[in-house]
């Protein structure tokens, strides 16, 4: 489901038009607005150590194609589609059949020996999030890792606030179930009245996993 353009999208339109004319500052403004979204979408699909380079590649691909964007107020959803396609290209080129659902052991191989127990838990949570259905995986990464709010995710990706809210709720439920099965049920605990505490705890763990 696609929502009507958010007020923020109107600001995107002016930046897109300026960027089309070669305004580097305008394109930098779009980068600042959307880098977290691109990072999160990629993190949901490709190995974490590849994400930063691919973020840059996505924007480099988008710049010369901006003339193809018919509705300049829809820059966010258009960029999200380019990002997903770039992730698909990565897997085709690297012949990765199931990289989206990397096993915990594969994630642990990327962890230096000095990593602490909370970092290992974060690696497990990230692997479990990647095993969820795509409709849940992407918003959870954007929420827990990138720190974006539900309304912000909707505004950036073009989804309705309602669908984002539902997917976050259902995705968090499934993630808690998987954590309980993995004996990490205490890592993310629901809080009465919306589960804000669980989102904060999960965000802190996952962000630590992806810090340099």
Which residues span the domain enclosing 134?
101-209
Per DSSP, what are the bridge partners of residue 159? 2
Q: Could you tell me if 126 and 56 lie in one domain?
A: no
- Quote the number of domains for the chain: 2
Q: Could you tell me if 50 and 122 lie in one domain?
A: no
Q: Could you tell me if 12 and 32 lie in one domain?
A: yes
Domain boundary among 66, 94, 122: 94
**Distance between alpha carbon 192 and the CA centroid of its chain, in Å?**
26
Domain boundary among 61, 94, 127: 94
Q: Could you tell me if 106 and 80 lie in one domain?
A: no
56 CB-side CA count, 13 A: 3
Q: Could you tell me if 56 and 115 lie in one domain?
A: no
Distance CA 127, CA 100 (A): 9
Residue 82 has a pLDDT of: 96
Q: Is residue 164 part of a domain?
A: yes
What is the CATH number for 148?
Answer: 1.10.10.10
Distance CA 156, CA 41 (A): 12
- Give the three-class secondary structure for 111: coil
Q: Is residue 42 part of a domain?
A: yes
Residue 27 has a pLDDT of: 94
What is the CATH number for 59?
Answer: 1.10.1740.10
Residue 207 has a pLDDT of: 57
Q: Token pair 């009507």 is at which residue?
A: 4
Q: Is the pTM of this model over 0.85?
A: no
Q: Could you tell me if 79 and 140 lie in one domain?
A: no
Residue 125 has a pLDDT of: 81
Q: Could you tell me if 202 and 105 lie in one domain?
A: yes
Residue 212 has a pLDDT of: 44
Tokens of 6: 């958010």
Q: Is residue 196 part of a domain?
A: yes
Q: Is residue 2 part of a domain?
A: no
Domain boundary among 94, 125, 151: 94
**Do the beta carbons of residue 102 and residue 127 sit within 8 Å?**
yes
What's phi and psi for 59, nearest 5 deg? -70, -35
Residue 124 has a pLDDT of: 78
Q: Is residue 1 part of a domain?
A: no
Q: Is residue 23 part of a domain?
A: yes
Report residues of the chain scoring pLDDT below 70. 1-10, 94-119, 183-212
Distance CA 73, CA 9 (A): 5
Torsion sign (Cα): 8, 145, 94, 98: negative
């Amino acid at each position: 489901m696609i929502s009507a353009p958010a007020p923020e999208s109107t600001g995107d339109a002016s930046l897109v038009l300026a960027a089309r004319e070669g305004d580097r500052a305008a394109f930098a403004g779009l980068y600042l607005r959307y880098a977290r979204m691109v990072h999160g979408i990629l993190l949901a699909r490709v190995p974490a150590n590849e994400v930063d380079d691919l973020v840059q590649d996505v924007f480099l691909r988008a710049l010369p194609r901006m003339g193809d964007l018919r509705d300049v107020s829809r820059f966010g959803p258009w960029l999200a589609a380019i990002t997903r396609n770039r992730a698909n290209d990565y897997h085709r080129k690297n012949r990765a059949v199931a990289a989206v659902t990397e096993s915990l052991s594969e994630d642990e191989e990327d962890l230096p020996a000095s990593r602490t127990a909370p970092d290992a838990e974060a690696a497990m949570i990230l692997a479990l999030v990647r095993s969820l259905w795509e409709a849940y995986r992407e918003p959870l990464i954007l929420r827990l890792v990138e720190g974006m709010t539900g309304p912000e995710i909707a505004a950036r990706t073009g989804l309705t606030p309602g669908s984002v809210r539902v997917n976050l709720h259902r995705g968090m439920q499934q993630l808690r179930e998987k954590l309980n099965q993995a004996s990490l049920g205490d890592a993310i605990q629901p809080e009465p009245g919306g589960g804000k505490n669980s989102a904060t705890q999960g965000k802190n763990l996952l962000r630590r996993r992806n810090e340099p």
